């Protein structure tokens, strides 16, 4: 059992002015949707699927006859780009901005739906000329530029399965993913901009392809203008081939269960784990959640700050907004380049109305200070969202007050690469929110908190978060390894004698039925016989007014089993030292009890993070235990952070 110690009592109702115009305007409307999904699940999901454009509409929803391998809408046929693009061409949206883009150096582009459709068709015709056909796999390793969106949709237009590799991965990681997917075509760029420096994308691809003889063609987008070597017969400059291509390319219809994309989960070791998502089920639930959770409507400028190399970028930068006919914004670079107000400058200049970002980013903004957002007019914002990990109440409150001006609902979303779409979140016009809680599962989703034996946990009892029933956007398998799919996700917990999907997260429900995700169960500490979630200790630390960010790990301890070690970043102007250490230890005791008191607190200017904003706790665990950091660190945003941490550990 995981012990839940932290309590948060505040509740924030939806603003009346927001609720009046929302897609789901009240708790009663949300309850009606939940009843519909419970009483007639097949009918409910077929009605949601009908919001896509189908060549052959499905007549059945879920087929679980081969559970845990499931199929959704499997007698239907579609091409998802017709829902993302073609249907908008017959409406006033044809001249609406589909894509707003800003590069790190400050260059910008705008593509309307009509222009984006033309570019997708031209690029699809290029891929056809290179021999790409329906069912082929195409790898994309690119910066956050419009051509990445175009290339993803061009693959989908042809029925080719795309696999986007995050631009921070090494040549070895690219090689492994290309080989695992059996890709025959790669789309990349000469480089990309990050903190004023060029990321050598083409160089990494060339190194990877020394071991991938099956790759027949490489398309290279010119982004930085750097000279890059080109292998004759294999490598082609994107602009040279697109020029003169027809802007007409018929979409290839595919079955609903056709693999839309493979996404390799971050931080994997050994054999890559390729999560496979379908076309019809994924498209249905991503469109639905974009409309419900973000309340996306005409006139919104929507900015999800994630990279398309991660699932958040797939679902809520690219597919979700375009399926709903929205305007989505892409930014290429870092949030502190050229200064720490870059995000707020973008919000003000582009008139962003919906902002979706990660708690790690929010805590960094807190550390940098309120003066940076205060430089800019953020009054265009009407909704804020968080994604990636549980948000601690202190960061939630800062986000609400400083960025949202106290007027914007916050949608704290819980989901995973494997779930494809958001499974738990507030409905912003209907759900009162509690800072740090993702509130409730969405209509049609059955999440539960259970003990290891599958029995339901009591209120405020920590347990394991599972999904009792399939959902349309769930992963279908692990590419080329169905046994791994079954073993990894359906072998740990059974409920009523049936294996259920185990999320890997610990959670609790409070007395009001609100869901609180407590972090990964492999991040749970065993301290003197008590199982304590690291997320709760981190939240207690960050609730101290002098703390901007904290990461908690365990190190072996002969007496307690594990001792709590906290790595803490203070807000600007605060002084580290023994007095601050004592204050913070006592603060944790006051917030959640003596058993959670950190044995050791280490101060650091920054925490080791990936470019997607995730703290690399594995590295901190190794440092806390006194060992050397091992394994792949190529996804680290800033290697110097790790070097400084290791140096400070050696000095202690």
Pairing of strands 137-141, 161-164: parallel
Report if residue 504 sits inside a domain: no
Tell me: pLDDT of 126 over 80. Answer: yes
Half-sphere exposure of 264 (CA within 13 A, CB side): 26
Report if residue 505 sits inside a domain: no
Residue 269: which pLDDT band, with cuts at 50, 70 and 90?
A: very low
Residue 268: which pLDDT band, with cuts at 50, 70 and 90?
A: very low
What tens digit of pLDDT does each residue of 393-418 get? 889 999 999 999 999 999 999 999 99
Report if residue 447 sits inside a domain: no
**What CATH number does residue 594 fall under?**
3.30.300.30
Report if residue 326 sits inside a domain: yes
Length of the chain: 652
How far is Cα 294 from Cα 310, in angstroms, rounded to an integer? 19
What tens digit of pLDDT does each residue of 198-249 get? 999 999 999 999 999 999 999 999 999 999 999 999 999 999 999 989 999 9
Averaged pLDDT, 247-267: 92
List Cβ neighbours of 490 (8 Å cut-off, separation of 6 or more).
Answer: 68, 499, 500, 501, 502
The three-class DSSP label of residue 344 is: helix
Choose one of 284, 316, 332: the last residue of a domain: 332
Averaged pLDDT, 470-476: 98
How far is Cα 112 from Cα 95, in angstroms, rounded to an integer? 5
Report if residue 355 sits inside a domain: no
Averaged pLDDT, 105-127: 98
Report if residue 383 sits inside a domain: no
Element housing 45 (H / E): helix 41-49
**174, 634 Cβ separation under 8 angstroms:** no
Choose one of 332, 361, 392: the last residue of a domain: 332
Choose one of 291, 313, 332: the last residue of a domain: 332
Q: Please give the pLDDT value at position 121.
A: 98
Residue 643: which pLDDT band, with cuts at 50, 70 and 90?
A: low
Q: Please give the pLDDT value at position 538.
A: 85
Q: Please give the pLDDT value at position 637.
A: 58
In 510-635, beta strands by DSSP E: 515-520, 524-527, 530-533, 547-557, 561-570, 600-603
What tens digit of pLDDT does each residue of 19-38 get? 999 999 999 999 999 999 99
CB atoms within 10 A of CB 587: 18
How far is Cα 158 from Cα 319, in angstroms, rounded to an integer? 16
Q: What is the mean pLDDT of the chain?
A: 92
Q: Which comes out higher in pLDDT, residue 642 or 622?
A: 622
Domains in the chain, number: 2
Share of the chain above pLDDT 70, in %: 92
Range of the domain at 589: 528-651
In 421-460, beta strands by DSSP E: 447-450
Share of the chain above pLDDT 90, in %: 76
Report if residue 283 sits inside a domain: yes
Averaged pLDDT, 139-162: 98
Q: What is the 3-state secondary structure (H, E, C) of 145-188?
A: CHHHHHHHHHHHHHCCEEEECCCCCCHHHHHHHHHHHCCCEEEE
Residue 390: which pLDDT band, with cuts at 50, 70 and 90?
A: confident
How far is Cα 255 from Cα 149, in angstroms, rounded to an integer? 23
Q: Which of 2-16, 510-524, 584-598 has the lowest mean pLDDT?
A: 2-16
Averaged pLDDT, 243-259: 97
Tell me: pLDDT of 530 over 70. Answer: no
Report if residue 187 sits inside a domain: yes
DSSP state of 3: B
Q: What does the angle CA 313 – CA 316 – CA 317 come to, to the nearest 5 degrees?
A: 55
**What CATH number does residue 189 fall under?**
3.40.50.12780
Give bridge partners of residue 191 from the DSSP assignment. Answer: none
Tell me the range of 25-34, 165-174, 609-618 where mean pLDDT is highest. Answer: 25-34
């Amino acid at each position: 059992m995981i012990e839940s110690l932290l309590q948060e009592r505040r509740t924030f109702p939806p603003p009346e002015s927001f609720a009046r115009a929302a897609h789901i305007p009240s708790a009663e409307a949300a309850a009606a949707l939940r009843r519909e999904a419970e009483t007639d699940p097949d009918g409910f999901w077929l009605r949601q699927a009908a919001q896509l454009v189908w060549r052959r509409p499905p007549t059945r929803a879920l087929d679980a006859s081969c559970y845990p391998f499931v199929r959704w809408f499997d007698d239907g046929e579609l091409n998802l780009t017709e829902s993302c693009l073609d249907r908008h061409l017959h409406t006033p949206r044809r001249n609406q901005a589909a894509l707003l883009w800003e590069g790190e150096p400050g260059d910008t582009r705008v593509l309307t739906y009509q222009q984006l459709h033309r570019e997708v068709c031209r690029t699809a015709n290029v891929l056809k000329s290179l021999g790409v056909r329906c069912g082929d796999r195409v790898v994309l390793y690119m910066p956050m530029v419009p051509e990445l969106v175009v290339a993803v949709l061009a693959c989908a237009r042809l029925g080719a399965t795309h696999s986007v590799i995050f631009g921070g991965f090494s040549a070895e990681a690219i090689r492994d993913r290309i080989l695992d997917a059996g890709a025959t075509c790669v789309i990349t760029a000469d480089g990309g901009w990050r903190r004023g420096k060029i990321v050598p994308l083409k160089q990494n691809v060339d190194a990877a392809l020394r071991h991938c003889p099956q790759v027949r063609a490489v398309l290279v987008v010119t982004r930085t203008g750097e000279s890059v070597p080109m292998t004759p017969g294999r490598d082609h400059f994107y602009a040279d081939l697109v020029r003169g291509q027809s802007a007409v390319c018929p979409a290839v219809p595919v079955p609903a269960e056709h693999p839309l994309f493979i996404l390799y989960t971050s931080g994997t070791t050994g054999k890559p784990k390729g999560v496979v998502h379908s076309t019809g089920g994924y498209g249905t639930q991503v469109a639905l959640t974009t409309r419900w959770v973000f309340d996306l409507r005409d006139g919104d400028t929507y900015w999800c700050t994630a990279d398309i190399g991660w699932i958040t970028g797939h679902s809520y930068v690219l597919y979700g907004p375009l399926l709903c006919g929205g305007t989505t914004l892409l930014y290429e670079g870092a949030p502190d380049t050229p200064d720490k107000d870059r995000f707020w400058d973008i919000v003000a200049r582009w008139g962003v109305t919906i902002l979706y970002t990660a708690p790690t980013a929010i805590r960094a903004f807190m550390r940098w200070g309120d003066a940076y957002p205060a430089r800019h007019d953020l009054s265009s914002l009407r909704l804020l969202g968080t994604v990636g990990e549980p948000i601690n109440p202190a960061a939630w409150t800062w986000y609400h007050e400083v960025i949202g001006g106290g007027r914007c609902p916050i949608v704290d979303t819980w989901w995973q690469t494997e779930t494809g779409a958001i499974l738990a979140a507030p409905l912003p016009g209907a759900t009162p929110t509690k800072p740090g809680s993702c509130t409730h599962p969405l209509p049609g989703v059955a999440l539960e908190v259970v003990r290891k034996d599958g029995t339901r946990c009591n209120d405020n009892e920590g347990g394991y978060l599972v999904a009792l029933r399939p959902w349309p956007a769930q992963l279908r398998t692990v590419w080329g390894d169905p046994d791994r799919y079954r073993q990894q996700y359906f072998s740990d917990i059974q409920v009523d004698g049936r294996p259920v999907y185990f999320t890997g997260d610990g959670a609790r429900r409070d007395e009001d039925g609100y869901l609180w995700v407590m972090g990964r169960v492999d991040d749970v500490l065993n301290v003197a016989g008590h199982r304590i979630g690291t997320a709760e200790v981190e939240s207690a630390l960050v609730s101290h007014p002098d703390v901007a960010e904290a990461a908690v790990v365990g190190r072996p301890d002969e007496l307690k089993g594990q001792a709590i070690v906290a790595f803490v970043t203070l807000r600007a102007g605060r002084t580290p030292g023994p007095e601050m250490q004592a204050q913070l230890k006592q603060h944790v005791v006051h917030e959640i009890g003596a058993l959670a008191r950190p044995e050791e607190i280490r101060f650091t200017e920054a925490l080791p993070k990936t470019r997607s904003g995730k703290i690399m706790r594995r590295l901190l665990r190794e440092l806390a235990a006194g060992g050397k950091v091992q394994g792949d660190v190529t996804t680290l945003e800033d290697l110097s952070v790790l070097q400084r941490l290791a140096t400070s550990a050696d000095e202690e």
